[in-house]
């Protein structure tokens, strides 16, 4: 009956395994590399090791294996499996011909737990099918068709491989030889929606576990977040101001100050406090520069020590090489054996190679020092000489910058005085004397700075007056030059005409703006110089270039020559007010068309 089939054991006499081969089913399952199960669901071999089966090189099957539920592939064809006769309660299974090829199967669907079983006898019932296939594992459901096939769903994936082992077996019901009681089993993978759904659920669960594991791993290796910066308040401001004055706590305090400024804590009420803290931060610049200089000095001393040590090592190598060379002379060489001579020659070569390496290194250090010294000595000579006007302008700008810096210092001192006044009301009587002294010192410093500021302002006014005088003188000189030009153009030309009749050569020479061969050379050099300066050049720049060729050339001579040649050189004014600048340009190509 169906109820009694599940409780059968190997001791069942009528339909159990024969006594001649009590381990037929165990042998069959062992050939597949799986732990064989008895009729009751218990393992026939309790100490069975799947890795010792016939499927050498295939890892043991783990039903809880993560991933796609991968199971071992079928037995290779070149490794024969000894299939045995399997006796069940209601039927007998006969193995196929071992020389025939193994039965073909379709591609295994993911998470497959259902098999297709074809070739069943016509008289086979669900009870007989359960009796045959429940030895492969727990059967969940059987769906039998009227056309001698069925679908069997197992509880786990690895049970499907055990069922596939029965493919090709001939089944006989009882001892009957009727055609309806016999058949050839064909077991193959089946595609079921329930299997696919369970497999997808399992994959999603594994993906969630993997994401959770990666998240924990990332959190474990993530660096700790920086400590939060406190919010701005008067108390925290005073604490940060004190830390800014301490060299050891300066880095922490400057980070807090930066965060406050970026947060937008600066307003009209807190501007003085922030300015004082910024001024304290600025006071550390000199300290950092001194530290850098000290480290550079230490580095130079270390380089010098290394160079001295290397020189000493090189001297010792020279002595060792000298010993080897003296030993190689015939006076001492003849007394050594052949092996000793070989060793001495090898040692000499090694010592010379090491000495040459150290010598090259020392020469490279010295070469670098010489290059550094040459770079420091080479300085670009100044090509332009500043005029009185440019010197005055630069002095005025310097005075302006100094004036601004003094104003800023005065503002800083006033802020500190106000802070001291605010703290004076809060402080105790014991600190009044020290604060009064500080106030007096600050007031004295403030008075000194005010006096200095007044002096600077007076100097600034004097410089401006001098600059205005220079501008007026220049304007007068320009007006005189224009008047002279007009007078020269208005003079009668009667004398010139008479001279033209008497001496045509002298006429051509007197009418031409170029008086001598020297001026012709000057015109050619100036034209070449201005041709490579398309935006023009000042008269001082041009004279500085000409004085390299001839130191006797003066600025007035060059300027008069260029003013005579109006079709060759043109003067342009650029800038406004104090930045007014005169530039000469070459216009010979345009002047040639006009003349």
Residues 120, 175 within the same domain: yes
Q: Does residue 572 sit in helix, strand or coil? A: strand
Q: How many structural domains does the chain have?
A: 4
Confidence band, pLDDT 50/70/90 cuts, at residue 110: very high
Residue 3 has pLDDT above 90, yes or no: no
Domain boundary among the residues 265, 286, 303 is at 303
514-543 per-residue burial string, b: 16 or more CB within 10 A, e: under 16: beeeebeebbeebeebbeeeeebbebebbb
| Segment 423-435, tens digit of pLDDT | 777 666 667 777 7
| Segment 217-242, tens digit of pLDDT | 998 888 887 778 889 999 999 999 99
Note whether residue 69 is domain-resident: no
| Segment 521-553, tens digit of pLDDT | 888 888 888 888 888 888 888 898 888 888 888
Note whether residue 379 is domain-resident: no
pLDDT of residue 297: 92
Confidence band, pLDDT 50/70/90 cuts, at residue 151: very high
| Residue 429: DSSP 8-state | G
Note whether residue 393 is domain-resident: no
| Segment 167-182, tens digit of pLDDT | 999 999 888 778 888 8
Residues 96, 187 within the same domain: yes
Residues 149, 124 within the same domain: yes
Q: Does residue 166 sit in helix, strand or coil? A: coil
Domain boundary among the residues 284, 303, 322 is at 303
pLDDT of residue 186: 93
Note whether residue 489 is domain-resident: no
Min mean pLDDT across 113-127, 212-226, 383-397 is at 383-397
- Please answer whether residues 40 and 31 qualify as being in contact, where contact means their C-beta atoms are separated by less than 8 angstroms: no
Residues 324, 247 within the same domain: no
Closest alpha carbon to 94 in 198, 24, 180? 24
What global pTM score does this model have? 0.31
Q: Does residue 47 sit in helix, strand or coil? A: coil
Residues 266, 183 within the same domain: no
Residues 284, 328 within the same domain: no
Domain boundary among the residues 316, 346, 369 is at 369
Residues 137, 174 within the same domain: yes
Kindly state the average pLDDT of the residues 10-37.
Answer: 42
Residues 288, 313 within the same domain: no
Closest alpha carbon to 185 in 83, 57, 288? 83
Helices H / strands E in the chain, number of each: 19, 10
> How far apart are alpha carbons 493 and 498 in whole angstroms?
9
pLDDT of residue 65: 42
393 vs 168 pLDDT, higher one? 168
Could you tell me which residues are beta bridge partners of residue 183? 171
Residues 290, 322 within the same domain: no
Residue 557 has pLDDT above 90, yes or no: no
Note whether residue 581 is domain-resident: yes
Give the position of tokens 């020392």. Answer: 362
> How far apart are alpha carbons 406 and 463 in whole angstroms?
18
pLDDT of residue 31: 46
Note whether residue 276 is domain-resident: yes
> Could you please report the per-residue DSSP string of 317-359?
HHHHHHHHHHHTSHHHHTTS-HHHHHHHHHHHHHHHHHHHHHH
Positive or negative torsion for Cα 402, 407, 413, 415: negative
Residues 173, 240 within the same domain: no
Residue 66 has pLDDT above 60, yes or no: no
* HEC secondary structure over 171-231: EEECCCCCHHHEEECEEEECCCHHHHHHHHHHHHHHHHHHHHHHHHHHHHHCCCCCCCCCC
pLDDT of residue 20: 37
Contacts of residue 8, defined as CB under 8 A and 6 or more positions apart, other chains included, come to 15, 16, 39, 40, 89
Tell me the pLDDT of the chain averaged across its residues. Answer: 78
Q: Does residue 570 sit in helix, strand or coil? A: strand
Residues 285, 341 within the same domain: no
Note whether residue 453 is domain-resident: no
CATH number of the domain enclosing 175: 3.30.70.330
Residue 146 has pLDDT above 90, yes or no: no
Residues of the domain holding 347: 307-369
Residues 194, 256 within the same domain: no
pLDDT of residue 85: 87
pLDDT of residue 358: 85
CATH number of the domain enclosing 562: 1.10.10.10
Contacts of residue 162, defined as CB under 8 A and 6 or more positions apart, other chains included, come to 29, 32, 34, 37, 135, 136, 137
Note whether residue 149 is domain-resident: yes
Residue 261 has pLDDT above 50, yes or no: yes
């Amino acid at each position: 009956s169906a109820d009694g089939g599940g409780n059968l054991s190997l001791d069942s006499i009528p339909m159990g395994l024969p006594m001649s081969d009590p381990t037929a089913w165990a042998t069959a399952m062992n050939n597949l590399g799986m732990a064989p199960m008895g009729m009751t669901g218990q393992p026939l071999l309790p100490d069975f090791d799947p890795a010792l089966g016939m499927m050498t090189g295939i890892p043991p099957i783990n039903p809880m294996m993560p991933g796609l539920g991968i199971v071992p592939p079928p037995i290779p064809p070149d490794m024969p499996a000894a299939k045995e006769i399997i006796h069940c309660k209601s039927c007998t299974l006969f193995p196929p011909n071992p020389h025939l090829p193994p039965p073909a199967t379709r591609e295994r669907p993911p998470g497959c737990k259902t098999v297709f079983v074809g070739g069943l006898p016509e008289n086979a019932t669900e009870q007989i099918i359960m009796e045959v296939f429940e030895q492969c594992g727990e059967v969940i459901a059987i769906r039998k068709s009227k056309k001698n096939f069925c679908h069997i769903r197992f509880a786990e994936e690895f049970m499907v491989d055990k069922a596939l082992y029965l493919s090709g077996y001939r089944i006989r019901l009882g001892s009957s030889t009727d055609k309806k009681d016999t058949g050839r089993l064909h077991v193959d993978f089946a595609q079921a929606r329930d299997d696919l759904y369970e497999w997808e659920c399992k994959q999603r669960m594994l993906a969630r576990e993997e994401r959770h594991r990666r998240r924990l791993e990332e959190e474990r290796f993530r660096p700790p977040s920086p400590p939060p910066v406190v919010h701005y308040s008067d108390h925290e401001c005073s604490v940060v101001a004190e830390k800014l004055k301490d060299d050891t706590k300066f880095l922490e305090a400057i980070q807090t100050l930066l965060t406050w400024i970026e947060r937008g804590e600066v307003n009209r009420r807190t501007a003085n406090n922030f300015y004082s803290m910024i001024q304290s931060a600025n006071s550390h610049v000199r300290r950092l520069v001194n530290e850098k200089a000290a480290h550079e000095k230490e580095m130079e001393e270390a380089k010098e020590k290394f160079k001295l040590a290397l020189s000493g090592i090189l001297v010792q190598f020279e002595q060792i090489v000298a010993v080897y060379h003296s030993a190689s002379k015939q006076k001492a060489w003849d007394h050594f054996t052949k092996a000793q001579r070989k060793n001495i020659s090898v040692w000499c070569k090694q010592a010379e190679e090491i000495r040459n390496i150290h010598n090259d290194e020392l020469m490279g250090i010295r070469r670098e020092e010489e290059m550094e010294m040459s770079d420091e000595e080479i300085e670009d000579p100044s090509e332009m000489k500043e005029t009185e006007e440019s010197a005055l302008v630069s002095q005025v700008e310097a005075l302006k910058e100094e004036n601004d810096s003094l104003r800023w210092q005065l503002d800083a001192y006033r802020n500190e005085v106000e802070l001291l006044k605010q703290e004076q009301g809060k402080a105790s009587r014991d600190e009044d004397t020290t604060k009064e002294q500080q106030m007096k010192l600050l007031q004295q410093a403030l008075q000194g700075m005010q006096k200095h500021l007044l002096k600077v302002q007076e100097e600034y006014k004097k410089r401006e007056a001098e600059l205005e005088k220079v501008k007026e003188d220049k304007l007068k000189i320009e007006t005189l030059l224009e008047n002279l030009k007009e007078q020269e153009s208005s003079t009668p030309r009667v004398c010139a005409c008479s001279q033209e009749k008497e001496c045509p050569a002298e006429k051509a020479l007197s009418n031409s703006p170029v008086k001598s061969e020297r001026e012709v050379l000057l015109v050619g050099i100036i034209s070449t110089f201005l041709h490579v300066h398309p935006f023009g050049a000042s008269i001082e720049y041009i004279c500085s270039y000409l004085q390299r060729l001839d130191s006797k050339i003066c600025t007035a001579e060059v300027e008069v020559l260029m003013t005579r040649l109006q079709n060759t050189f043109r003067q342009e004014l650029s800038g406004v007010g104090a930045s007014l600048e005169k530039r000469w340009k070459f216009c010979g190509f345009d002047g040639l068309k006009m003349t």
